[in-house]
Amino acid sequence: MRLSRYFLPVLKETPSEAQIVSHRLMLRAGMIKQSAAGIYSWLPLGFKVLRKIENIVHEEQMRAGHIPMQMPTLQSADLWKESGRYDAYGEEMLRITDRHGRDMLYTPTAEELITDIFRSNVSSYKDLPLTMYQIQWKFRDEIRPRFGVMRGREFYMKDGYNFDLSKEDALHAYNRHLVSYLRTYERMGLQAIPMRADGGPIGGDYTHEFLVLAETGESEVFYDSAVTDLSFGDREIDYDSVEQCKGVLEEFTTKYARTDETHDEALFGEVPEERRRTARGIEVGQIFYFGTKYSDALGAQVQTAEGEKVSVHMGSHGIGVSRLLGAIIEASHDDNGIIWPEGVTPFHAGIVNLKQGDAEADAACEALEKAMEAAGLEPLYDDRKERAGGKFATMDLIGLPWRITVGPRGLKNGVVELTSRRTGESEEMAPEAAVVKLIEIYADHRVTGL
Ligand code: P5A
């Protein structure tokens, strides 16, 4: 992509309405624009990161055996009246009346709708287990939308739902989700810690939230510092193995880690004092097991092998896809701007031409751009006639992890400069060598389906 042809409306001034760094940087980097309180347009750069995050979520969900689908954003209120949540959900639910006077709503979550799909189509234990998910816009009429995409009213969520014959099977689905979420967040360069939480309006008393530690987080959390040493890493896991999934759950949830809703001072007191931590966190996901709450209310039953009719055991599992952009930036930035982890960066490397219009420099940049594209990498080539300082500032602000700087002086010696955004360290090398190095760096960070 050539910057001169792209749409990247960066802001020089720091927007005064933004209270936290991720919101400020997303506005300054031209990623989003507010259209109404808590509702945003996703400008090209923001949209590109959103898609990368979405694709990682898809890849990890499908790896775990979950089936993608899509449900509408607008739903009839009828199912919600049947489940009892139409009244219970309260003011957060955006209610709409259509031209025929029918009660509709903009979906804040989809337990009812998926349970209706299930009950209309599945009647035998033979079709279980089943887990389906979607990535779809949601609306919650938050009383205080704030911090940009972090607490929006319209936001993008991955929501998955499992249907199982027994509590035991449903708990395996729960554990499988926990494992797949750990992998998902790690691929985005994030440490998200599973913490015991409260079921809230979704329900169920067995639930974990995934929290990214950050001073600007909205949740107060209490944990044993030993949980921050845990990492899922690149271990291979068999998602069908009850033992393996349970083992990971135990490894990651046995040590004390709770949100304030479930915090227990006495239990916390058993953690060695030097390891007790109180901090703030950003909730980037939550998994629930709620048994037969919705299947009982909506009559989602299957016949067992013995011919008995039983309500299915269910859980639901959510990832705050749009919130993740904010969380990643909170966790990874410096005074000059964003520092994208390789897994989610909108472009893999920036190419900065120090002397636009110089025949040799232009040709070298174009050759680099072509070589990267041929290798399946996405470069962003700053081909504007701007001062070098301005070009560097833009690259730092938008946070591409790598920058290749091309100038007549280096080219005389056959070299360009490859600079790491994170460390600021630069290395001179032949242009071809820079491309080879980027291919190596990104070998483990390819997201398909863009
Ligand atoms: C699980 C999926 C649910 O809604 N039903 C379907 C369950 N869970 S949840 O915890 O309420 O939401 C899942 C994740 O969505 C993100 N989220 C938000 N992101 C941005 N703005 C909001 N207003 C907002 N509300 C929830 C969170 O990351 C949450 O974990």
Amino acid letter, residue 156: Y
3-state secondary structure of 88: helix
Total residues found in the chain within this entry:
450
129 upstream amide cis, omega within 30 of 0:
yes
Block residue for tokens 């249907």: 163
Nearest-angstrom CA–CA distance, 320 and 325: 9
Ligand 1 atom with least separation from CA of 209: 30
Write down the pLDDT at residue 432: 97
Task: Decide if pLDDT at 448 tops 90.
Answer: no
What are the pocket residues of ligand 1 if the criterion is a CB atom closer than 6 Å to any ligand atom?
A: 109, 140, 142, 151-152, 155, 157, 159, 202, 283-286, 316-318, 320, 322-323
Tell me which architecture the domain covering 349-442 has in CATH. 3-Layer(aba) Sandwich (3.40)
Distance 202 CA to ligand 1 centre (A): 10
Distance 425 CA to ligand 1 centre (A): 39
Q: Are 404 and 352 in contact (CB under 8 A)?
A: yes
Distance 52 CA to ligand 1 centre (A): 19
Question: pTM score > 0.85 for this model?
Answer: yes
Which DSSP symbol is given to 229? Answer: G
Ligand 1 atom with least separation from CA of 110: 6
Domain ranges of the chain: 13-338, 349-442
Torsions phi, psi for 397 (to 5 deg): -60, -50
Nearest-angstrom CA–CA distance, 211 and 209: 6
Pick the residue whose CA is nearest to atom 20 on ligand 1: 151
Distance 319 CA to ligand 1 centre (A): 6
Nearest-angstrom CA–CA distance, 43 and 405: 26
pLDDT in tens, 325-384: 999 999 999 999 999 999 999 999 999 999 999 999 999 999 999 999 999 999 999 999
- Residue among 122, 177, 178 nearest 295 (CA): 122
Pick the residue whose CA is nearest to atom 12 on ligand 1: 318
| Pairing mode, strands 402-406 and 39-42 | unpaired
CATH class of segment(s) 13-338:
alpha beta
pLDDT in tens, 274-319: 999 999 999 999 999 999 999 999 999 999 999 999 999 999 999 9
Pick the residue whose CA is nearest to atom 14 on ligand 1: 320
Ligand 1 atom with least separation from CA of 160: 2
Ligand 1 atom with least separation from CA of 282: 28
Q: What is the mean pLDDT of residues 234-248?
A: 96
- What DSSP string describes 49-76? HHHHHHHHHHHHHHHTT-EE----SEEE
Instruction: Count CA atoms within 13 Å of residue 334 on its CB side.
Output: 12
Pick the residue whose CA is nearest to atom 22 on ligand 1: 151
Which DSSP symbol is given to 124? Answer: B
Nearest-angstrom CA–CA distance, 264 and 403: 48
Distance 174 CA to ligand 1 centre (A): 17
Averaged pLDDT of the chain: 96
Q: What is the mean pLDDT of residues 22-40?
A: 97
